[in-house]
Amino acid sequence: MFDFPESWIFAWDIMKFIDGIVDWVVITFEPFFHAFNIFILRGFLVPFSDFLTWIPWWATILLIGLASWRVVNRRFALLSVGFMLIINLTGLHELSMMTLAITLTSTILCVIMGIPLGIFAARSNWFNTLLKPILDGMQTMPSFVYLIPALMIFGLGKTPAVMATVIYAIPPMIRLTNLGIRQVDPQLMEASLSFGTTPWQTLRKVQIPLAMPTILAGINQTIMMALSMVVLASMIGAKGVGTEVLAGINRLEVGRGFLGGIAIVFLAIILDRISQGIAKKNQ
C-alpha cells in the first residue's frame, strides 16, 4: 500500500502514442524532410565546409590572426595564431574547419530564427509565456531524445547534427534578444513614439540598436553552445574534430581524444574572444 498502484500507470500507452506520431510524421512528411535535408546540405553546409577546407592553411591562420588583432588586441592575435599552428601541427586542420563549418552554420540558423522569435517574444507577453517552458525543455532535454527522431527523419549525416545543435544552441539567442528589447528604456520608447514612429520604425531605429549589445552577447552564447555539441554531432555522422574525440574514446586512445579535445578548446577560445570583441566594439 506504500507503492503507487501499478494498474494506474499508463506510461506504455503514452510511449506508444508518441511512437505513433513520430512514425506518422516521418512517413507523411518524408518528401518535405528530404527536400529540407538537401537544402541545408547543399545550401549551407557543403559549400561552407568546402570553402573553409579549400582555403590554404596559412591563409586561414592569417585571417584568424588578423580578425583577432582587429577586434581584440595584438596579444590575443599572437595567441590565436599559436592555437591555429598547434591545430595544424596535430594534423587536425581539415577536421577543425569542418567543425567550424557546422558550428557557424548552426549559429547562422540560430541567429536567423532566434532574433525574430526573440523580438516577437518581447512584443507579446502571451507568446513569451508559451515560449519559456519550451526553451527550458530545449536546453535540459537530453539531446539523444530528439536525436533519434532527427535520425529517423534525416538519416545519418550533417543535417541531423545541425538540427540537434540548433535546438540546443538557439535558446540563449531567443532569450537574450527578448531580454535586450525588453530592457530598452521605456522613456526612450515614449520619446520615440512622441515623434510619430511606426512600430517598425521604433523597432529598427530604437529597440534593435539599443538591444544590440545584449543580442551580440546572445550570439556569443549560441556559438559556445554550438561548439559544445561537436562530439555529439560526430556521433551521428557529422565529420569533424569530434570524430577524433569519439575515436579516442572508442579505441581507448587517450592521446588521440586529448588532442581532439584541445583543438575544440582552442576553437572555442578563438570564437569566444572574437565574438565578444565584436560585441564590445558595438557598445
Partner 1 sequence: MLEKNIKISCQNIWKIFGPTPESILDNIQDYEGATKQDFLEQTGHVIAVKNVSFDVYENEIFVVMGLSGSGKSTLVRCINRLIEPTRGSVLIDNDDIAQMDKDALRELRRHKLSVVFQYFGLLPHRSVKDNVGFGLEIRGEKGREKDEKINAAIEQVGLKGWEKNQIDELSGGMQQRVGLARALAIGSEILLMDEPFSALDPLIRRQMQDEFVNISSEVKKTVVFITHDLLEAITLGDRIAIMRDGEIVQIGTPQEIVSYPADEYVSDFVKDVPKGRVILAKHIMSQPDLIINREKNLNETIEEMKANENKITFVVDDRQRMMGLMTIEQAEESLAEGKTKVHEVINEEYPSASRNDTIEDCLYLDNTENLPVVVLGRNKRLLGMITRQTIINSMQSGNITNEDNTEQ
Given the complex with partner 1, which of 197 and 228 has the nearer CB atom?
A: 197
Q: Applying CB under 8 A, which part among 32-40, 85-93, 121-129, 204-212 lies near partner 1? A: 204-212
| Among positions 196, 200, 252, 255, the unique one binding partner 1 when judged by CB under 8 A | 196
Q: Is residue 200 close enough to count as binding partner 1 by CB under 8 A?
A: no
Given the complex with partner 1, which of 7 and 187 has the nearer CB atom?
A: 187
Q: Is residue 191 close enough to count as binding partner 1 by CB under 8 A?
A: yes
Q: Are 52 and 59 in contact (CB under 8 A)?
A: no
Compute CA distances 240 → 58, 148, 169, 172, 260, whole Å: 20, 20, 18, 24, 9
Q: Is residue 205 close enough to count as binding partner 1 by CB under 8 A?
A: yes
Given the complex with partner 1, which of 140 and 187 has the nearer CB atom?
A: 187
To partner 1, the closest distance from the beta carbon of 177 in angstroms equals 17
Q: Applying CB under 8 A, which part among 29-37, 67-75, 86-94, 191-199 lies near partner 1? A: 191-199
Residue showing cell 591563409: 59
Which helix H or strand E contains 152, and what residues bound it?
helix 143-154
To partner 1, the closest distance from the beta carbon of 122 in angstroms equals 18
Q: Is residue 194 close enough to count as binding partner 1 by CB under 8 A?
A: yes
Nearest residue to 238 (alpha-carbon basis) of 83, 41, 78, 81: 41
To partner 1, the closest distance from the beta carbon of 217 in angstroms equals 16
| Among positions 206, 225, 227, 271, the unique one binding partner 1 when judged by CB under 8 A | 206
Q: Is residue 210 close enough to count as binding partner 1 by CB under 8 A?
A: yes
Q: Is 139 exposed, middle or buried (0-12, 13-18, 19+ CB in 10 A)?
A: middle
Given the complex with partner 1, which of 128 and 192 has the nearer CB atom?
A: 192
Helix-helix angle 93-123:241-250, to 10 degrees: 110
| Among positions 26, 108, 193, 269, the unique one binding partner 1 when judged by CB under 8 A | 193
| Among positions 6, 8, 140, 198, the unique one binding partner 1 when judged by CB under 8 A | 198
The CB density around residue 113, as the number of other CB atoms within 10 Å, is 14
Given the complex with partner 1, which of 28 and 282 has the nearer CB atom?
A: 282
Which ranges of 203-253 does DSSP label H, i.e. alpha helix? 208-227, 230-235, 241-250
The region that residue 196 occupies, defined by phi over 0 for left and psi between -120 and 50 for alpha, beta otherwise, is left
Rg (CA), the chain: 22
Q: Is residue 247 close enough to count as binding partner 1 by CB under 8 A?
A: no
Residue 49 in grid coordinates: 565546409
Given the complex with partner 1, which of 128 and 197 has the nearer CB atom?
A: 197
Rule CB under 8 A: which of 151-190 touch partner 1?
Answer: 187-188, 190
Compute the distance between CA of residue 71 and CA of residue 63 in angstroms, rounded to an integer. 12
- Applying CB under 8 A, the residues found at the interface with partner 1 are 187-188, 190-198, 201, 205-206, 209-210, 212
